[in-house]
């Protein structure tokens, strides 16, 4: 494992991710449906003989759906732990432990791709350009050269879409940092790990900006939709588990009082989303980018 992989993946173990991930429901085409059902609906529009590449497979949650639907599925992830867990589950999926940034830099990687997709992962590859490694403290710190970071992120996004063969499709699911669910996370993380321009939406805005420019030059065609919905928790305990073990994994550094104060804040903040049966529906959202290289 290189230093970058260690820093970016040390808190994200496949088992923890699977256990802590709650179900998401979105308002899609007039229906409130679970995220995976929505993804299946979107993917149904593509031919089953397509060759699909997924960037950032994670535990293979969506890779499994791709595998059911398409004849040829490949995937990459920066975390070797994640790659190993998917390899066990889906031995026929071609997997590689590589950074998205490196992958898109090599045009030959795109020879066999008909559909390029990424679910809740591409944002990290953009964010990488706004971070630097502090080798002394073994930590990640904000970029010291913002203009260079902007140029490099633009280069990476351009490579992703311009290296696609003509007429290939893409589907990028990008997180919505403006939702109630995510704003609670941002409020705390931004204190110890500043986001570009102190704006957690910055990577999304950058992505949109570069995609719009590509569309303006008629190099891609893209439909973009932000849809809203909610994340569901059976009870407050389940919500605590998700926030502590997923969103705030690696945040506390053994500070028990901080854990207690965040749990209290979570209770107060989310109380208005509590249902009569004790479950919670916390407003969440997602950005869908569905397009084609032209
Ligand atoms: C939030 S998880 C999403 C996983 C999966 N797509 C899903 O929807 O369940 C993000 C994944 O992106 C991977 N990742 C983060 N930065 C990456 C990068 N620069 N290159 C490749 N993978 C990366 C992480 O290791 C993690 O597995």
Q: Looking at residue 119, what is its pLDDT?
A: 98
What is the Å distance from ligand 1's center to 77 Cα?
Answer: 6
In contact, 250 and 11? CB cutoff 8 Å: yes
Q: Which atom of ligand 1 is nearest to the CA of 79?
A: 25
Range of the domain at 142: 3-293
List, edge to edge, every strand of the sheet that includes 115-119: 31-34, 24-28, 220-233, 280-293, 169-175, 115-119, 51-55, 72-77, 94-97
Place of tokens 């891609």: 220
Q: Looking at residue 16, what is its pLDDT?
A: 81
Output the domain CATH number for residue 44. Answer: 3.40.50.150
Number of domains in the chain: 1
pLDDT tens, per residue, the chain with 294 residues? 555 565 555 556 788 888 889 999 999 999 999 999 999 999 999 999 999 999 999 999 999 999 999 999 999 999 999 999 999 999 999 999 999 999 999 999 999 999 999 999 999 999 999 988 777 777 778 888 999 999 999 999 999 999 999 999 999 999 999 999 999 999 998 888 778 998 999 999 999 999 999 999 999 999 999 999 999 999 999 999 999 988 998 888 888 999 999 999 999 999 999 999 999 999 999 999 999 999
pTM of the model: 0.95
What is the Å distance from ligand 1's center to 121 Cα?
Answer: 4
What H or E segment, with its residue span, contains residue 91? none
Q: Which atom of ligand 1 is nearest to the CA of 100?
A: 20
Q: Looking at residue 188, what is its pLDDT?
A: 94
121 Cβ below 6 A of ligand 1: yes
């Amino acid at each position: 494992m290189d230093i970058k992989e260690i820093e970016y993946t040390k808190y994200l173990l496949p088992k923890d991710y699977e256990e802590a991930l709650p179900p998401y429901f979105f308002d899609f085409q007039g229906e409130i449906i679970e995220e995976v059902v929505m993804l299946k609906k979107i993917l149904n529009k593509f031919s089953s003989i397509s060759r699909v590449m997924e960037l950032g497979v994670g535990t293979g949650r969506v890779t499994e759906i791709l595998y059911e639907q398409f004849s040829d599925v490949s995937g990459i992830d920066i975390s070797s732990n994640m790659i190993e867990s998917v390899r066990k589950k889906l031995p026929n999926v071609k997997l590689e432990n590589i950074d998205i940034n490196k992958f898109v830099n090599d045009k030959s990687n795109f020879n066999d791709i008909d559909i390029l997709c990424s679910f809740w992962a591409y944002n990290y590859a953009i964010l990488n350009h706004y971070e630097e490694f502090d080798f002394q403290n073994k930590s990640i710190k904000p970029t010291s050269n913002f203009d260079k970071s902007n140029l490099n992120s633009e280069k990476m996004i351009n490579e992703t879409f311009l290296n696609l063969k003509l007429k290939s499709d893409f589907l990028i699911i990008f997180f919505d940092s403006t939702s109630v669910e995510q704003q609670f996370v941002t409020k705390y993380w931004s204190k110890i790990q500043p986001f570009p321009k102190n704006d957690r939406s910055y990577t999304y805005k950058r992505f949109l900006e570069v995609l719009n420019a590509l569309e303006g030059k008629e190099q891609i065609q893209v439909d973009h939709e932000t849809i809203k919905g909610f994340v569901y928790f059976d009870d407050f305990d389940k919500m605590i588990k998700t926030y502590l073990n997923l969103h705030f994994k690696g945040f506390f550094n053994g500070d028990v009082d901080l854990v207690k104060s965040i749990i209290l804040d979570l209770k107060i903040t989310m109380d208005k989303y509590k249902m009569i049966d004790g479950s919670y529906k916390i407003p969440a959202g997602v950005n869908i980018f569905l397009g084609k290289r032209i």
